[in-house]
A and B are shown apart, each in its own frame.
Chain A
Amino acid sequence: MHPAPSIILFTSISGLGFGLLGVLCLGFPAVSGREAFLWFLAGYVLAGGGLSLSLFHLGQPTRALKAFTQWRSSWLSREAVVSILTLSVTGIQALLIIFSSGNSVLGIAASALCLATVFCTAMIYAQLKTVPRWNHPLTPLQFLAFAIAGGTLLAGEDQAAMAALAILACVQMAAWLIGDQRLLNSGSTVESATRLGGPGVRSVRLLEPPHTGGNYLTREMVFVVGRRHSRVIRTISIASIGILPLFLLALPLEPPWVRPLIVALHINGVLLSRWLFFAEAEHVVGLYYGKHGSVRP
């Protein structure tokens, strides 16, 4: 899939935002008043800002409100509804925390909603049979792991963060390794796409594309990353998402620049990982455009 910057930023940043809000609502770090206000502000900027970025991906942004109507069937619609619900519930909790002290039940509900929002976002991709790499439980797991790790890390809850980062690293690795097999195991091939294969046929391959010019589909859904290229990015990404932050957090000494550095590393890793999430995702329509293993006999 085409790695559109708007979606990469939107999903990464809102994920971090909801992660952070989730942690804050549970009362970590134990802050109140002006300090709490600033913490929540940060959470809202990330979550809300991220969401609003998603508008850039729409052909008709002005009609965005219509997206709230189909929550019964559409994950995108659910994401919209739940995110608004989440932002309001977390809002109440935020006010309570800032002016007095938060309500623990409300807090749990609020952070559950935060995860629910992230889950909906993830399901938009996980539901797509057409992208076998995404169409797997690891997709929501991945998104949730990112949110929790990011949230706890931002919130400075180092013990939790270290655990979360470790889990995230494993989930991420699993997602990549298992993901690489998904298309192969999906049963979708150029033969199934054209039904031209079968006994006695050695190979089916695209001879001529429908148009010599590009089109919406090739731009949006037919994107291929070179193997080597992706390995490099994966390594850098996994290192800066998890390994390095864990290592640095584990260090006893704590000069002032360490925390910003860790956060920066992590966010950088998240963006790289999210770029791969899209760039590496093979849409089966590529099979009609000579992509994804119309292999030479």
Chain B
Amino acid sequence: MKHSPDLSPRVSDEIRKTTCYMCACRCGINVHLLDGKVRYIEGNRDHPVNRGVLCAKGSAGIMQHYSPARLRAPLLRTGERGEGKFREISWDEALDIAVSWLAPIRRTAPQKLAFFTGRDQSQSLTSWWAQQFGTPNYAAHGGFCSVNVAAAGIYTLGGSFWEFGQPDWERTRLFMIFGVAEDHDSNPIKLGISRLKERGSRVIAVNPVRTGYNAIADDWVGITPGTDGLFVLSIVHVLLKAGKIDLEYLSRYTNAAFLVDAGPGSTKRGMFLRDADGREQVLDVRTGQPKPWTAEGVIPNLTGEITRDEVPYQTVLRLMVGKYLSDRYAPETVAATCGVSAGRIRGIAAELADVAFNNSITIEQPWVDWRGVRHERMTGRPVSFHAMRGISAHSNGFQTCRALHLLQILLGSVEVPGGFRFKPPYPKPFSVHPSPCGHPRPGSSLPGPHLGFPKGPEDLCIDRDGKPTRIDKAFSWENPLSAHGMMHMVISNAHAGSPYPIDTLFLYMANLAWNSSMNPTGVMSMLTDRDESGEYRIPRLICADSYSSEMVAFADLVLPDTTYLERHDCISLLDRPISEADAAGDAVRWPVVEPDRDVRCFQSVLLELGARLGLPGFIGDDGTAKYRDYADYIVNHERRPGIGPLAGFRDPQGTGKGRGAPNPGQIEAYIANGGFWRDPVPEAGHYYKPWNRDYLDWAVSLGLLDSPRPYVFNLYLEVLQKFRLAAEGFGELQPPDRLRDGLAAAMDPLPAWWNPDGKPSESTDDTSEFPLHALTQRPPAMYHSWGSQNAWLRQIHGVNPLYVPTSVWDEHGFEDGDWAYVESPHGRIRVPVARMDALNPHTVWTWNAIGKRSGAWALHRNAPESSRGFLLNHLISELHPPKGDGFRWSNSDPITGQAAWFDLRVRIRKAPGDGPAEPAVPAQSSPVDPGPDVLRFGRD
């Protein structure tokens, strides 16, 4: 009777290797198929991103793929907007309707279409489509996500923490992580931190909340939200004073030695000294004369000053020293504001100095710089930093992230062994990025891409009288450097008809009626609001979604997409690829299972729409559709000659890398290779990438760069000074008067800090009426709104308490199981509370996007997600309450327009009873059938 279980059961009939899309991390997955059904999903060991591991969401992909919330066919609204009442229609009917709405718009006023997308990974297609359509109103989610980090990184370093850079996990000895709960690189960061711990490197986490990565850090700094910039500049202050800065690095690789116009009355004050060809000048130590920084053999003087035609010029470093040595940045001065003792600030500064300067490392790897000078070895300062939305999602985030880059640069730890490293296609200075195109003409395409990096006021998207030309008011005087657009403003602006009314709102993969909007209840009423004529103020709403989300309920026309296992997709070097510091890489998705519903891959649908609308590039000379479907486009589309969506296996032989003719067998080649392609950076090009000839040549050969463009890091950002000059009344492009002070204060060419309470000002006067900061964090096992339909994941995160620091807990006499009212200047919610010690004493927080609207996601109407789960978003407004100047500043960074989710201030008090959560939004009816009562996955 001895039990002998089968120890070698058949695992699967077939393993299909594709790319995960349970989040944006792009891990490689092995999908095990058994009897035609997905049996098990595991990580692909060969994949550069996850090297075999998989997160909870990734393994739960099965439950996403078989979710009852999947839309089944195109839907046409029958009830009121928001009700969720629809009729299923055919694809032909759906596309006819869409074309009948869009064609007239393109003919007469393309800007009346607003096309915005979420975290899709086909932005090179969607943006190109919008460009050919001719509307300036296109952007993806970056504006409410992390544009502050992206823009600060690209303007300062030519690369960024977000997506395009990583710590040197194998060599770093001291790692500081700022404001990260999960990040996009979920698995790589976990793999990395684990490596650091294995190697005995030290990890210091700076975060008001101690969970996840911060929980396992060797040291935790529970900083007060919004004050990192001050904290970092104080470290800069201490290091400068102690002379613990890498002077050689500063003179070689940064604009520290650039000469800046320091004439008080000068109309070009704050601008660089340039020669006739516009080349920035440095003082050459050998001659004492100005020379272009690129000139042969110049030795830049870091501290010099000269006078030219009565105008005094000083080096950037001199200005910095003047600014940062001020006692305003002394640890003792900032300690109270940051909630970090002066001792700890000094302690951390000392650790950084110790590791950077007493423990520098060298690799015996010769390299040649762009000047042709050969260096025998690579020397590194093994301190590295990472930061994400804790820095980004504040209205001072751009400058705070700049301050962090300033610190990295002073320590000489960017693109050196042990430091912070770029991932191809980066480094790429902002100067080689396009400037935004935002001026529509009826019936024609835009000359270039919508999004880019303005070089000055001349690049703003405004008309002659300064009015924004984009519906989201990106690249306007209100947010000049909004490099990713401002998706979070679209609905409120469109509703207000400011700067102008639109006709059709076209949304793809964004749940704007819920968790990606500030003030969702307000947004929902804007979507349902009608004008005098009884017409919806936003007349038409098309939504491309895969599931029964909150947004879908508001659509007039729903284009049902497939799940990520049912379609082709490419994770492209033209968008956000899978490169690592040592290699360029891209990847594909492909239909590992066929859809069992009347749904279509949205990218294919977009191509067909483009063809039916006759958009240039979407039709051949014979006027018929140029691309059969997305797969066909992926293989045959060429953005520039020889450069297409996928860089690998190009040329008919499949031998081409980066550049090369289309290869009909390209996708098959990817699949055979495990779903991805990767090309290593040559050894000699691993570090110093911006100035490294081996790297630059390799990058050009792959088509990552058109030509080698050596550049320096921008400690001093002249672009900002241009806007500041405009604010001060210089130049022919002038901002409206109400914005002048704000702009002048914000557009500091050297990293600055201000109290993120709306209008930029260093005053730290606490708005004591709302004494607490309120934050959200990504739960590692849940992905925004789309995780809750997942039968496995929702058991882990079905409700979200508000975590309250013990001091506040006691002050209000809270007890386990209590509920609280939480109020902000904008609104009030009622939520369950829980006590926490490892939390900044002025901060409360909760997990993000757990709360759901009743009736959404094919969940039961009394699902805990709607009765006990909640969104903090209801407390956040897209506008601040009026300031002294009576003007309502928008709740975003005045430089980039980044949504300032984390500037939220609240007060809290005990609420009677045991729920339910408030506000209780009326239920939406479900266009899909409810799921089963019992799930026995593997049997049924």
Contacts and interface: CB of A to CB of B under 8 A. Distances in A.
Interface in A209-267: 210-213
B62 interface: no
A207 interface: yes
Contacts of A212: 795-800, 864
Contacts of B796: 210-212
A213 B836 contact: no
B935 to A, nearest CB: 13
Contacts of B799: 212
B804 to A, nearest CB: 12
B836 A207 contact: yes
Interface string A118-162: 000000000000000000000000000000000000000000000
A207 B803 CA distance: 10
Contacts of B798: 211-213
Interface string B848-880: 000000000000000010000000000000000
Interface string A197-215: 0000000000100111100
A211 B836 contact: no
A212 B796 CA distance: 5
Contacts of A207: 834, 836
Given A211-B796, A213-B864, 8 more contacts: A207-B834, A210-B796, A211-B795, A212-B795, A212-B796, A212-B798, A213-B795, A213-B798
Contacts of B794: 213
17 contacts: A207-B834, A207-B836, A210-B796, A211-B795, A211-B796, A211-B798, A212-B795, A212-B796, A212-B797, A212-B798, A212-B799, A212-B800, A212-B864, A213-B794, A213-B795, A213-B798, A213-B864
A26 to B, nearest CB: 41
By size class, the interface of chain B is 10 to 19
In this complex, the member of A210, A212, A213 whose beta carbon has the largest number of chain B beta carbons within 10 angstroms is A212
In this complex, the member of B796, B798, B864 whose beta carbon has the largest number of chain A beta carbons within 10 angstroms is B796
A207 B864 CA distance: 20
A28 B634 CA distance: 93
Contacts of B795: 211-213
B350 to A, nearest CB: 25
A212 B787 CA distance: 15
B869 to A, nearest CB: 9
Contacts of B800: 212
Nearest to B838: A207
A91 to B, nearest CB: 31
A31 B798 CA distance: 64
Contacts of A211: 795-796, 798
A126 B797 CA distance: 37
Interface string B653-689: 0000000000000000000000000000000000000
Nearest to B850: A212
A211 B797 CA distance: 7
A213 B864 CA distance: 9
A96 B794 CA distance: 64
A237 B112 CA distance: 77
Contacts of A210: 796
A211 B799 CA distance: 10
A210 B794 CA distance: 12
A207 to B, nearest CB: 7
Nearest to B800: A212
A145 B176 CA distance: 67
A259 to B, nearest CB: 47
Nearest to A210: B796
A16 B800 CA distance: 48
Contacts of B836: 207
B933 to A, nearest CB: 15
A23 B800 CA distance: 59
Contacts of B864: 212-213
Interface in B791-819: 794-800
A211 B798 CA distance: 8
A240 B329 CA distance: 76
A226 to B, nearest CB: 13
A142 B630 CA distance: 75
A211 B779 CA distance: 12
Nearest to A203: B837
B862 to A, nearest CB: 14
Nearest to A296: B835
A213 B795 CA distance: 5
Interface string A85-121: 0000000000000000000000000000000000000
Nearest to A208: B834
A160 B864 CA distance: 57
A213 B865 CA distance: 11
Nearest to B799: A212
A213 B834 CA distance: 16
Contacts of B834: 207
A43 to B, nearest CB: 36
A45 to B, nearest CB: 36
A212 B836 CA distance: 17
Nearest to B810: A296
A213 to B, nearest CB: 5
A210 to B, nearest CB: 7
A211 B795 CA distance: 6
A213 B799 CA distance: 8
Interface in B829-855: 834, 836
Contacts of A213: 794-795, 798, 864
Nearest to B816: A290
A126 to B, nearest CB: 29
Nearest to A207: B836
A212 B870 CA distance: 14
A293 to B, nearest CB: 14
A63 to B, nearest CB: 14
Nearest to B797: A212
Nearest to B869: A212
A211 B836 CA distance: 18
A144 B688 CA distance: 83
A247 to B, nearest CB: 42
A170 B795 CA distance: 46
A212 B864 CA distance: 9
B67 to A, nearest CB: 17
A207 B816 CA distance: 11
A60 to B, nearest CB: 16
Nearest to A290: B816
A265 to B, nearest CB: 37
A227 to B, nearest CB: 16
A206 to B, nearest CB: 10
A66 B800 CA distance: 45
B857 to A, nearest CB: 16
